[in-house]
Copies of this chain bind each other. A is one copy, B any other.
Amino acid sequence: MDERKPSHYLALSGGVGGAKLALGLSKILSSEELTIVANTGDDFQHLGLTVCPDIDSLLYSLSETNNTELGWGQKGETWNFLEALEKLGGDSWFKLGDRDLATHILRSEKLKEGLSLTEVTKLLSRKMNIAHSILPMTDDQVRTVVDCVSVGALNFQNYFVKERCKPEVRSIYFSGIEKASLNPDLDRIISRGLSGVILCPSNPFLSIDPILSVNGFVDRIKTSDLPVVAVSNIIDGQAIKGPAAKMMKEFNIPQSVIGVARYYGENYPDLVSHFVLDKKDAHLEKEVCELGFSTLVTETMMTSLEHKIDLAKELIRFLAEALVR
């Protein structure tokens, strides 16, 4: 391990699941040691506002103002705006809470004033007393589109919230990705040298793929010859939250940790070196090893802050061992 430069890790995250691990990592790594990269493919325009669900999940999680009962949004949230909007016949399928609205309105205003999404996210982070950098994967507009068997192409939030992930998915694409440049701050951080990259237990298709699809990102990581660890978002054949398992079935991918490992291995050859699977999937460790990954079997369910910190510690130890070898 090169002792001259401080260690620095990137954590790639989607929304809630990823944000749990990001919070754990933020408790054991300083802001100089950790940068969180957020998926922006879920972003969308709604009621004239720019809504960035994954960035917001990270903001609320890292500021510990997230609503743990709902699993999304803010603590102590109220819904009087939404109730009034519904009465007026406005679009109320996307559940905008009263407090949450402040984030969207301020962000939209600042973007209109000409600030980049990175700058607005920094401003919001500062106001929420978050020390760690949350970087949007890109400042350019990328929009995840879910192409479904009978209903055709749906904007992500239409698929995810309005249609409750019911339509059968044929394919997913990221509109605008060809023209999207890697976040310049992220580019700089990679140039300074990393100790490892963590793919949080987020949906590979909807949360991690968009980040890995930004021009040049995967190449930059591969060139650095870094340990890259993926934490399985599937435990015992199930996704903790969201449509990942259902999608795997629709994509004819084994609905298990094997499916996740294979997906990363096949789609990003020579990128992911390490793989973390849950204790419940310990019997599949050998198979994951045979796919070419170094493996760690541990508790990956993060039901408390202690669990998040424990998993973060194990991960960093796992990556540090890789660097020593």
Contacts and interface: CB of A to CB of B under 8 A. Distances in A.
Contacts of A48: 48-49, 105, 108-109, 112
A222 interface: no
Interface string A219-258: 0000000000000000000000000000000000000000
Contacts of A101: 81, 84, 98, 101
Most B CB contacts (10 A, CB to CB) among A87, A98, A112, A124 go to A98
> For chain A, what secondary structure do more than half of its interface residues adopt (helix, strand, loop), or is it mixed?
helix
A106 B88 contact: yes
Interface range, A side:
20 to 34
A180 to B, nearest CB: 24
What copy number does this chain have within its complex?
2
Interface string A65-98: 0000000001001101111110111100000011
Contacts of A106: 47, 85, 88-90
* Residue among A84, A85, A100, A109 having the largest count of chain B Cβ atoms under 10 Å: A84
A5 interface: no
Top 8 A-B pairs, shortest CB-CB distance: A84-B102, A80-B98, A85-B102, A84-B99, A98-B98, A90-B106, A88-B127, A81-B98
Given A48-B48, A90-B106, 18 more contacts: A47-B106, A47-B109, A48-B112, A49-B105, A77-B80, A80-B97, A81-B81, A81-B102, A81-B105, A83-B99, A85-B105, A88-B102, A88-B103, A88-B106, A89-B123, A89-B127, A90-B105, A90-B109
